[in-house]
Structure 1
Amino acid sequence: MTPVTCVDIGIQHLRCFLALAEEQHVTWAADRLGMSRPTLSRQIRRLEEALGRSLLDRSTRHHG
């Protein structure tokens, strides 16, 4: 496994992850950050790739 460097993870990646963790909803986090949902998702995926592991449970949940 290659070590993660500061170049791999930018402050924007961490801000995206923090907003998503606090909001617990992709749309709300994206709105809070002033970006689209796909852009937020891309930032989270890049962070996961840099770390070499998944940070989110992407299972579909049904409320009811």
Structure 2
Amino acid sequence: MWQRGLNWAAIILVGTFGLMWVGIVIYADEFSAPWMRVTQAVFGILLLGWSVQKAIAMILGKA
């Protein structure tokens, strides 16, 4: 029971962090090189993708 709740907490935390990361890189980071902003945006999207993948696995009962 606790394990499942902690898994959901981790999924939500990583997804929220990824979303915030992408938002900060796109809107607030004005002084970095364009290639660095793209790299950081890809990292944020990877975090979002991981959280969505884990959430689907939890819903389907595969995790």
Structure ID, larger Rg: 2
Larger helix proportion of the pair: 2
TM-score in terms of structure 1 length = 0.39
Which structure has more relative contact order (CA 8 Å, sep 6+)? It is 2
